[in-house]
Amino acid sequence: MSAPIAYHPGKQPIPRNAWYVVAFSREITQKPLSRRLLGDKVVLYRTENGQIVALADYCAHRAMPLSAGTVKGDCIQCPYHGLEYDPAGKCANIPSQPQIPRLMKVRSYPTVERWKWVWAWFGEPERADPSLIPDHSEFGMDNTDFWSVDRFVMSIGGSYQLLHENLLDLSHVTFLHAGSFDSGAMASAPQSTQVEGRLISITREVTEVVGAAYGRIFSLEEGIRVRRTLRSRTWVPSLNVVTSTFHFLDEPGRPAAVRHSVFPITPDTATTCHYFVGTAHSYGEPAAGDVLKAQNQVLFDVFLADKTAIEAIQQAYDELGAATPDCSVRADEAALKFRRLLDGMIGEEAGSLAVA
Amino acid sequence: MSAPIAYHPGKQPIPRNAWYVVAFSREITQKPLSRRLLGDKVVLYRTENGQIVALADYCAHRAMPLSAGTVKGDCIQCPYHGLEYDPAGKCANIPSQPQIPRLMKVRSYPTVERWKWVWAWFGEPERADPSLIPDHSEFGMDNTDFWSVDRFVMSIGGSYQLLHENLLDLSHVTFLHAGSFDSGAMASAPQSTQVEGRLISITREVTEVVGAAYGRIFSLEEGIRVRRTLRSRTWVPSLNVVTSTFHFLDEPGRPAAVRHSVFPITPDTATTCHYFVGTAHSYGEPAAGDVLKAQNQVLFDVFLADKTAIEAIQQAYDELGAATPDCSVRADEAALKFRRLLDGMIGEEAGSLAVA
Amino acid sequence: MSAPIAYHPGKQPIPRNAWYVVAFSREITQKPLSRRLLGDKVVLYRTENGQIVALADYCAHRAMPLSAGTVKGDCIQCPYHGLEYDPAGKCANIPSQPQIPRLMKVRSYPTVERWKWVWAWFGEPERADPSLIPDHSEFGMDNTDFWSVDRFVMSIGGSYQLLHENLLDLSHVTFLHAGSFDSGAMASAPQSTQVEGRLISITREVTEVVGAAYGRIFSLEEGIRVRRTLRSRTWVPSLNVVTSTFHFLDEPGRPAAVRHSVFPITPDTATTCHYFVGTAHSYGEPAAGDVLKAQNQVLFDVFLADKTAIEAIQQAYDELGAATPDCSVRADEAALKFRRLLDGMIGEEAGSLAVA
Ligand code: FES
Ligand code: FES
Ligand code: FES
């Protein structure tokens, strides 16, 4: 058997044969956008016909960022000496000569636009099967029984691994977000963990009274009693969905309320990541305008605590390496399964098959 | 004989079996303080009973800084998932389970509160003997014939070695601090050097007329004639005391005036240090309030020249390594002894005994 | 034959047996100037007699920057312990003792003041022959038929190699500086390339109508028709001169107008450089005061596009190393010759003679 890969956020390779969200749809226009994704610098643009293009953000000629250039029809033109590239990354024009060298091309990444965001594939292009993207309708997106909204992307100065582990240990809700997402009982509620392929699920159930901040965040009335199931699911390596289902204990006729928080997590570099946030709701009114802005601000501020924690822990790994403290408790069962599944993907991509 | 360790501020190990000042007492409260000391990140707090605690600032669970947490009685609680640690560093509570793994603990550092500051020990705990801390009464602290005051701590972007060498070559006073600490004769006055165990002393004597800035700093009258002994003592590796004794040549009956500047020097990282400043005076009035603030500001501004010099020299070592210029003169005798004593401590801690 | 050195801006050694411009004359006064040149920290000052001195900016005693010190007559005095050095770098005074150790000296660099700038030599001093400096009169400087002006120095966060290559591919003028230096035809005009020793020349010829911004930059009337020869010459490794010669197609009697842009390029570190700019003009009025300031500002702003491009490409090399895209076209002929000549100089200095 191959030796297990030592856990080290920020030092392990990133699985590339997987779909990752790279942007909200609204972010991609004819003004090129440069974004670092899985360590690669990528330029994203929309052609005049509306197609989304993702290319390596280095001109094949002299490595100038194409993102500093201009979209012309389907192509993007390099600002330095004017070479143009088509959506497949092939050079389509060289101003100073008619012939185009065969090697004058840049890498093109497969993309899929789904719901309100864009997924891209950074691995072997022939394996880029769109059916591998988890079902959006199941999360309330593209589902007419729900209203859904794209919220914001937060830049986090820590590995995507640390963010996934954060979302797979719900005990942190009680402490790091005291009062914001629960009423104090979540950490001590029993947690059950399931694994199915690359999907890890954890569930906790509490009966609690909705507090003020918590009620504001979930659009629930302060002071009501609820039985609540909190479920966090991670599709390794790029998506987490947290689902809260509320049963109203004092109102037998009131339908259960469901809220999905859909969190694509995309490595920027090995030690930084993009944290995309969208939500879908079975209850309440669709939010827009200033109401949406205010909701987003509240959520963003609460998530800053996660950002701060993850960045501090990343800094510990960067400084201490293998000596970084990492003593697990029972609530870490899901996080440890995450590491194992990730190790499996990394090992598979490295061609290192486990042999008994 | 083992080869001498090449002198290289910022690259040599730091002796750990020694007491270092880590804070002024007033800095340690129930609000945890994070400070880097000898390269370690340490959280310092005071229990509800007033005891000072120094722990490694990484939670044993997932490396979160405990300094972002909260003091509860004797313990400190991690802000991420709520684990608590007692003053010995042992985990005392895990919210999500009753059992506490044996390895769930963090390092605890011995501390001693003396005069108005806190000393800590970073080496083998069984060797942490408080009687190894130099006698404070001898420096005028805890001595009722003197008044003493804790002034400030300055962060210096250079090795503690460079700061000690600065204080062991008094010729710099005449140039780097022209007019502030002498009247121009110090650099050319003969210097005598003594070594006793880990204590290095240098002495210079001058007869001079007190200038304006110099008089303000020492609370002496401008224009008077003094015979002055300037003595600088370093207890390798963590303390320097500069003592000025003034005899008043035109006032035979006036008692000699003594001022001790007590400078604990504590490595932050290998290339940065904390410069603590306290003074004790046999003459004049105890300073407080705005007078003290103004005194501190004047002193701080003068010390900025040392900070600038040391940071520039550290940068030279960082860039040039072994090629850094280092041609000594006679006034460097004490600095060279400092290097030798430090090498001895480092060699001893590395287990490399010198054999003839 | 020795293996060719792989092209990698920022990683290859810098030729030192060559003259480089280190400052405008006006920059060197009795207030010492610290400048990094070919990786060396150098202090530049003018003695009380007006002589220019260039010394290593590290005191031989304890590596303090001499540039923080004071010029006294011919010497510079270190601010830390007061040692003084003469223009040859020899220590001339130690305040704390009469004897001067033989090794108490710093490196002195040969300098030549020519036209309005200062050249220095960083290699073997015995090879520092001033006649190796290219003829300034030929560029219109020190030539009474022209007026010439020293403009500005721009700091560029990329290798001097990338800046030279920028100036040796005139096709970039049409795109990176669209409208500023040509009317759009330069990129597609045929380019001829010559090499003679360490001098590389390229020439392009266009017939065009002078546009608004272009006319303002060259002090020509908007809308007139010109036949223009654009010539760029690089003396490897430290100088580029771009010469524009305009023939006025609708005014047979008007004499041709010549403008030389003289660009000494001096490595700061391996990945940063100083871009000096001076110009000489056969036509128009000498600029001064606010007119000169305004001209400089316009030129500086246009050059910012080169700075941005070069810094982005340097970043690509820093990140991608040997994987940096570098697929050449025919317009790169001169740039490729530049690389070859530079490799030759580097190889020669490394003592690796090419053997057939
Ligand atoms: S670098 Fe893109 S065209 Fe030259
Ligand atoms: S990291 Fe401290 S409790 Fe989890
Ligand atoms: S460092 Fe220059 S005189 Fe000491």
Helix%, strand%, coil% for chain C, nearest 5? 25, 30, 40
Task: Check residue C108 and give its pLDDT.
Answer: 98
Pull the structure tokens for residue B349: 């801690």
User: A62 and C313: CB-CB below 8 Å?
Assistant: yes
Task: Check residue C3 and give its pLDDT.
Answer: 43
Task: Check residue C355 and give its pLDDT.
Answer: 42
For residue C95, the chain B residues in CB contact (below 8 A) are: 171, 174-175, 187-188
User: A329 and B63: CB-CB below 8 Å?
Assistant: no
Which residues have CB under 8 Å from C8's CB, separation 6+? C317, C321, C322
Any atom of ligand 3 within 6 Å of the Cβ of C81: yes
Express each pLDDT in A299-352 by its tens digit.
999 999 999 999 999 999 999 999 999 999 999 999 999 999 999 999 999 874
Interface test with B, best of A171, A304, A319 (most B CBs within 10 A): A171
The Cα-based distances of B346 to A62, B127, C237 in angstroms read 51, 16, 47
Spatial CA neighbour of C300 closest among C184, C217, C220: C217
Task: Check residue C294 and give its pLDDT.
Answer: 95
Spatial CA neighbour of B127 closest among B240, B22, B19, B40: B19
Pairing of strands A70-72, A52-56: unpaired
Write the Ramachandran bin of C277: left for phi over 0, alpha for psi from -120 to 50, otherwise beta: beta
Distance between CA atoms of C146 and A354, rounded to whole angstroms? 77
Whole-number Å distance, alpha carbon A93 to ligand 1 midpoint, is 11
Residue type for A252, please? P
Instruction: Work out the percent of chain C whose per-residue pLDDT is above 90.
Output: 93
The class that CATH gives domain A138-349 is alpha beta
Any atom of ligand 1 within 6 Å of the Cβ of A94: no
pLDDT of B17 strictly over 50: yes
Report which DSSP code applies to B184: S
User: Which atom of ligand 2 sits closest to the CA of residue B64?
Assistant: 1
C19 has which bridge partners? C121
Task: Check residue A205 and give its pLDDT.
Answer: 96
Spatial CA neighbour of C232 closest among C180, C193, C179: C193
Angle at alpha carbon of residue C137, lines to C131 and C143, rounded to 5°: 145
Q: Which ligand is nearest to the CA of C76?
A: 3
Considering Cα of C338, then C340, then C346, then C351, what sign does the dihedral take? negative
Other beta carbons within 10 angstroms of residue B146's beta carbon come to 19
pLDDT of B175 strictly over 90: yes
Pull the structure tokens for residue C156: 């560029």
Mean pLDDT over each residue of chain A, to the nearest integer: 95
Whole-number Å distance, alpha carbon B326 to ligand 3 midpoint, is 9
DSSP characters over B25-68: GGG-SSS-EEEEETTEEEEEEE-TTS-EEEEESS-TTT---GGG
pLDDT of C61 strictly over 90: yes
Of A187, A320, A326, the CB nearest to B62: A326
Task: Check residue A1 and give its pLDDT.
Answer: 35
Any atom of ligand 2 within 6 Å of the Cβ of B91: no
Express each pLDDT in B246-256 by its tens digit.
999 999 999 99
Q: Coil, helix or strand for A234?
A: strand
Output the residue whose Cα is nearest ligand 2's atom 3.
Answer: B81
Any atom of ligand 1 within 6 Å of the Cβ of A8: no
pLDDT of C92 strictly over 60: yes
Q: Coil, helix or strand for A53?
A: strand
pLDDT of A144 strictly over 50: yes
Sheet architecture: strand order including C75-77: C70-72, C75-77, C84-85, C91-93
Instruction: Work out the percent of chain B whose per-residue pLDDT is above 70.
Output: 97
pLDDT of A3 strictly over 80: no
Answer whether A174's CB lies under 8 Å from A187's CB.
yes
Any atom of ligand 1 within 6 Å of the Cβ of A59: yes
Average pLDDT of span A247-269: 97
User: Which atom of ligand 3 sits closest to the CA of residue C62?
Assistant: 1
Size of interface A-C (CB pairs under 8 A): 76
- For a mutational test of ligand 1's pocket, the pick from A55, A78, A103, i.e. the residue with the most ligand atoms closer than 8 A to its C-beta, is A78
CATH of domain C135-349: 3.90.380.10
Of B60, B65, B95, the CB nearest to A174: B95
A40 has which bridge partners? A37
Express each pLDDT in B188-228 by its tens digit.
999 999 999 999 999 999 999 999 999 999 999 999 999 99
Output the residue whose Cα is nearest ligand 1's atom 1.
Answer: A62
Task: Check residue B179 and give its pLDDT.
Answer: 85
Distance between CA atoms of A209 and A182, rounded to whole angstroms? 9
User: B172 and C80: CB-CB below 8 Å?
Assistant: yes
User: C62 and B174: CB-CB below 8 Å?
Assistant: no
Report which DSSP code applies to C105: B
Angle at alpha carbon of residue C148, lines to C255 and C269, rounded to 5°: 130
Residue type for A282, please? S
For residue C320, the chain A residues in CB contact (below 8 A) are: 58, 63
Express each pLDDT in B49-78 by its tens digit.
999 999 999 999 999 999 999 999 999 999
Residues belonging to chain A with any Cβ–Cβ distance to chain B shorter than 8 Å: 165, 169, 171-172, 174-176, 187-188, 191, 308-309, 312-313, 316-317, 319-320, 324-331
Answer whether A212's CB lies under 8 Å from A222's CB.
yes
Pull the structure tokens for residue B265: 């020097």
Answer whether C72's CB lies under 8 Å from C82's CB.
no
CATH of A19-127, one of 1.20.1440.230, 2.102.10.10, 3.30.479.30, 3.40.50.2000: 2.102.10.10
Whole-number Å distance, alpha carbon C87 to ligand 2 midpoint, is 62
DSSP characters over B186-221: GGGS-EEEEEETTEEEEEEEEEEE--HHHHHHHT--
Q: Which ligand is nearest to the CA of C172?
A: 1
Other beta carbons within 10 angstroms of residue C197's beta carbon come to 8
Any atom of ligand 1 within 6 Å of the Cβ of A60: no
Output the residue whose Cα is nearest ligand 2's atom 1.
Answer: B62
DSSP characters over B214-228: HHHHHT--TT-EEEE
Any atom of ligand 3 within 6 Å of the Cβ of C59: yes
Task: Check residue A55 and give its pLDDT.
Answer: 98
**Stronger pLDDT, B353 or B132, i.e. the higher one:** B132
Residues belonging to chain A with any Cβ–Cβ distance to chain C shorter than 8 Å: 41, 58-65, 68, 77-82, 94-97, 101, 103-104, 106
Distance between CA atoms of C179 and A158, rounded to whole angstroms? 44
For residue A94, the chain C residues in CB contact (below 8 A) are: 329
Residue found by looking up tokens 């005194």 in the block: B295
Any atom of ligand 1 within 6 Å of the Cβ of A309: no
pLDDT of A166 strictly over 50: yes
Distance between CA atoms of A297 and A284, rounded to whole angstroms? 19
Considering Cα of B111, then B114, then B119, then B124, what sign does the dihedral take? negative
Task: Check residue C7 and give its pLDDT.
Answer: 85
Reported as a pLDDT band with limits 50, 70 and 90, residue C43 is very high
Residues belonging to chain C with any Cβ–Cβ distance to chain A shorter than 8 Å: 165, 169, 171-172, 174-176, 187-188, 191, 308-309, 312-313, 316-317, 319-320, 324-331
Give residue limits of the domains in chain B.
19-122, 135-349
Interface test with A, best of B80, B83, B103, B107 (most A CBs within 10 A): B80
Burial (CB < 10 A; 0-12, 13-18, 19+), residue C59, is buried
Spatial CA neighbour of C266 closest among C160, C153, C137: C160
Of C308, C325, C331, the CB nearest to A58: C325
Pull the structure tokens for residue B168: 């062991």
Which residues have CB under 8 Å from C98's CB, separation 6+? none
Answer whether A312's CB lies under 8 Å from B65's CB.
yes
Express each pLDDT in B276-287 by its tens digit.
999 999 999 999
ipTM: 0.92
Whole-number Å distance, alpha carbon A225 to ligand 1 midpoint, is 64
Any atom of ligand 3 within 6 Å of the Cβ of C78: yes
Any atom of ligand 1 within 6 Å of the Cβ of A76: no
Any atom of ligand 2 within 6 Å of the Cβ of B59: yes
Answer whether B88's CB lies under 8 Å from B108's CB.
yes
Average pLDDT of span C74-81: 97
Mean pLDDT over each residue of chain C, to the nearest integer: 95
Instruction: Work out the percent of chain C whose per-residue pLDDT is above 70.
Output: 97
Reported as a pLDDT band with limits 50, 70 and 90, residue B6 is confident
Distance between CA atoms of A37 and A338, rounded to whole angstroms? 21
Task: Check residue A56 and give its pLDDT.
Answer: 98
Task: Check residue A351 and give its pLDDT.
Answer: 75
Indicate the fold that domain B19-122 takes in CATH: Rieske Iron-sulfur Protein (2.102.10)
User: C316 and A61: CB-CB below 8 Å?
Assistant: no
Considering Cα of C210, then C216, then C220, then C221, what sign does the dihedral take? positive
Answer whether C25's CB lies under 8 Å from C153's CB.
no
The class that CATH gives domain C29-122 is mainly beta
Express each pLDDT in B118-167 by its tens digit.
999 999 999 999 999 999 999 999 999 999 999 999 999 999 999 999 99
Any atom of ligand 3 within 6 Å of the Cβ of C225: no
pLDDT of A2 strictly over 80: no
Task: Check residue B261 and give its pLDDT.
Answer: 97
Q: Which ligand is nearest to the CA of C67?
A: 3
Reported as a pLDDT band with limits 50, 70 and 90, residue B1 is very low
Interface test with C, best of B170, B329, B330, B333 (most C CBs within 10 A): B329
Which residues have CB under 8 Å from B12's CB, separation 6+? B5, B161, B270, B342, B343, B346
Task: Check residue A355 and give its pLDDT.
Answer: 42
Task: Check residue C356 and give its pLDDT.
Answer: 34
